[in-house]
Structure 1
Amino acid sequence: MAGSDETGKTPRNRSRKIISLAALAGIFAGAVGVYVMERPSGNIVATTNPDDQCTLKTANAKAIDKAATGAVAAMRGADSPQSMGSLTFTGPDGKPVRLEDFKGKTLLVNLWATWCLPCREEMPALDALETKKGGDDFKVVTINIDTGDEAKPKAFLSEIGVKSLELYRDPSMGVFNDLKRKNLAFGLPVTMLVDKEGCQIAAMNGPAEWSGEDAARFIEAAKAL
């Protein structure tokens, strides 16, 4: 079909399905609170420092809140931006990675799992965003939280035709649990905008259509902060 991606779906049809799944995810999360079981965290939750540079970025958060429109309107600017540099997970080579290792790049950080239906619909859009916008100043960092080894998430990404996203993992679910304690994660998928200094400027729960023009404009606004 003309205009379709590797999944065989047009961006418009995928966008409609993502919107429906986002509504369903919201209802489900509201009904049961959190639908991911908490496990012991492998991450250290840093205490809030009044002098932390992130707490001074409320104006940036308000600006990016206004930039989130259309298909990405659910992304909300942070009331109190927080440092995310200490979040730890594993890289494609299996070695430990900290979010601060990406300092200097604007990041769209997304947590996902193979059993998460909205994630399945969202991942091709995130892959398209990384293909279009990824570079020296921006990166999509998708962190898989499936338990066990990497075989299942690797097969999942291959199945849905993901080509540009690297496989970052946290089978301990420590990152999710840390974000949960920070009142940023209520289910999957959860997505954060992290600025060049490792500060969480915006976040959303549920999927979005990241391959369209609304997302492209949002990322350009984020890179300009």
Structure 2
Amino acid sequence: MTTKRPLGLPSARLILIAAVAGVLAGAVAVYVRSMGSGNGEEVADIASVQTAGICEGAVARVKSVSEFAKGQVAAMVAAEPPRPLELSFKGPEGQDLKTADFAGKTVLLNLWATWCGPCREEMPALNALEKEMGGEDFEVVAVNIDTGSDEKPKAFLAETGVDALGYYRDSSMGVFNVMKKEGLAFGLPVTLILDKQGCLISAMNGPAAWDSEDAKALIAAAKGD
């Protein structure tokens, strides 16, 4: 006889994985910010270009969100500087979508697969977050990257009662490869927060209890509530 874990309370294993991910993410962030040619002016110029225009207003939002990256979502790393990020995948009807199609919404974009244990464990919490906070100004966009047919991911969602999330897919894994090249994805799951202009404001590698009070406070800060 097994005892089911109540929704919203991560297992000790999930907490450990998230904690390790937080340490690694912090180390990676320090490494990335330290990279360059050694020319301080060049790095400053790159940052200026990246924050110019559409993402200029996201700087304050990044600071606000970083203050809430603690507890269950401590592994969330601020984008310094925030920048436009365009990713492509399929929508619920198999239509081509881009992150730009979600303009006007704050988006929690999560990549998952049925063969990823931590991904499977956090999906009910993502579903609960969408039920509670999803709407015209916020959406959890969970993109499945299983190769092959829709059979396995759809069966998993049905079996686990995940009924609030839209069905987003990229069986080519192209979206993961783009994020990997951007230095954002080192494995699964990986989660990004994009603001209403499609600017990346923070990223996390590893799982989290997305239905926790820490996560809700983080999302509220991202939305500007």
TM-score normalised over the length of structure 1? 0.81
Spell out the pairing of 1:206-217 with structure 2 (5 A cutoff).
206-217=206-217
- Equivalent residue runs for 1:161-200 within 5 Å: 161-200=161-200
CA distance in 2, matches of 1:24, 1:91: 32
Partner of 1:54: 55
Aligned length in residues:
200
Aligned amino acid, residue 197 of structure 2: E
- Matched to 2:15, the amino acid is I
Query: Which blocks of at least 5 consecutive residues in structure 1 are unaligned?
Result: 1-6, 30-47
Change (3 A) 1:15 1:209: farther
Report what 1:78 is aligned to.
79
1:82 aligned counterpart, secondary structure = strand
Letter in 2 for 1:9: R
Contact in 2 for aligned 1:126/1:140 (Cα 8 Å)? yes
TM superposition shift of 1:59: 3.0
CA distance in 1, matches of 2:9, 2:62: 31
Q: More displaced, 134-143 or 151-160?
A: 151-160
Task: Evaluate the alpha carbon distance shift between residue 25 and residue 75 of structure 1 in structure 2; reply closer, same or farther with a 3 A threshold.
Answer: closer
| Larger-Rg structure | 2
Letter in 1 for 2:194: V
% identical equivalent positions: 54
Cα displacement (A) at 1:12 = 5.8
Structure 1's 65 and 59: CA in aligned 2 closer, same or farther, altered over 3 A? same
SS at match of 1:93: coil
The alignment's C-alpha RMSD in Å is 2.4
TM-score by length of structure 2 reads 0.81
Higher helix share: 2
Deviations 1:79-129 (A, max 9, x none): 121212x31100010110111111000000000000000001110100000
Offset, 1:20: 2.7
